[in-house]
Amino acid sequence: MEEFAVLKEIYLYPVKSLGGIKLEKGLVTKFGLAHPTNPDVIDRKWMIIDDKGSFRTQRQLPRMALINLNVDGESLVFDAPGKSRIKVPINPKLDKKINCRVWNLHIDAYPYGGEIKKWINDFLQTEGLDLVIFKGDDSDPRKSIEINEAANLGRETDVVIFEDYSPFMLISVNSLEELNKKLENKVPMKQFRPNFVVDGCSGFSEDDWNNFKIGESRFCKIKHCTRCLLTTVDQEKGERDPEQQPLKTLKEFRMNEALYGKSPMFGINLGIDNPGLFVSIGDKIIKV
């Protein structure tokens, strides 16, 4: 077996389109990464919806980037500039189930309401938003294969909660370096919101990683990660780049219109073959 990269960084995004949590290790579940000290905290298990149940992201509300998250025992902690921190229970007792929408698919979730609803709307300077959670005991996840996405190679076993498409996404350090060579204003990796950042391989070599292991976890590439306006949001300022960078530059050299139309590629979407194991920074990446 050939070792060709190493895992350098791990990120978990408990709430869709809010700040990520940098980890030393993460639990690999069928839904995505879970927090090592509280496995009930899973990637994109929560999201913010409008009053019609439709998902909201930095595409519409770039200030969402400024909301940071942390895990404190059985609580998820929300923090943002100019706001007092607020905690919500990770396993809340909520009775009202509503039908929500993420892209073309619907999924049931439970709204929190109350103080966190007010906190979110105050900070984002809007109305009608709420935080919802997915509860897998009485709701079905979304299947990647059913998501209306170009070049969809998702399998029946690839399921997500509120992620756009796949349980995991990976980018190499040198892919970002190649992009930054073409940009006047360099962008950090966090602008692309990967779960896994890998090093020791050439730029964009991950495009061809079809089956590989990180540690003992076996992953399968199910498509290239296609990019949108969210990549133009400065994650430190919560503002969209007026020149639509780096998306504009990606469209100049990372296109495959036959597969993905007008959306450029950056990173790869992954499914998992053997959930239940941990991955850690420093794990070797090996072709299988």
Domains along the sequence of the chain with CATH: 3-287 (2.40.33.20)
Q: Which residues of the chain have pLDDT under 50?
A: none
- Say if residue 62 is preceded by a cis peptide, omega within 30 of 0: no
Structure confidence at residue 156 (pLDDT): 84
Residues 34 and 30: their CA atoms lie apart, in Å, by 10
- Tell me what pLDDT residue 237 has: 97
Q: How many alpha carbons lie under 13 Å from residue 203 in its C-beta half-sphere?
A: 11
Looking at residue 204, what is its pLDDT?
97
Which has the closest alpha carbon to 119: 73, 95, 85, 90?
Answer: 85
Tell which residue, 209, 206, 205, 203, has the closest CA to residue 181. Answer: 203
The pLDDT, as a whole number, for residue 148 is 63
- Written as one letter, the residue type at 182 is K
Q: Please report, in angstroms and rounded to a whole number, the separation of the first and last CA atoms in the chain.
A: 7
C-alpha 181/C-alpha 256 separation (Å) is: 21
> What does the DSSP 8-state code read for residue 95?
-
Phi, psi of 190 (to 5 degrees): -65, -20
**What are the tens digits of pLDDT across the range 110-145?**
999 999 999 999 999 999 999 999 998 777 888 887
Say what the pLDDT of residue 152 is.
Answer: 64
Local structure of 20: helix, strand or coil: coil
Specify the DSSP class assigned to residue 264. Answer: P
How far, in Å, CA of 4 to CA of 286, rounded? 6
Collapsed DSSP state (helix, strand, coil) of residue 134:
coil
Instruction: Please count the other Cβ atoms lying within 10 Å of the Cβ belonging to residue 186.
Output: 11
Q: Report the greatest alpha carbon distance in the chain.
A: 54
What b/e readout covers 70-82, taking b as 16+ CB neighbours within 10 angstroms? bbeeeebebebee
Beta-bridge partner residues of 29: 32
Return the pLDDT at 84: 98
Residue 138 DSSP class? T
Query: CA 52, CA 69: separation in Å to the nearest integer?
Result: 25
> Which residues contact residue 145 at a Cβ distance below 8 angstroms, ignoring those fewer than 6 apart?
152, 154, 155, 156, 158
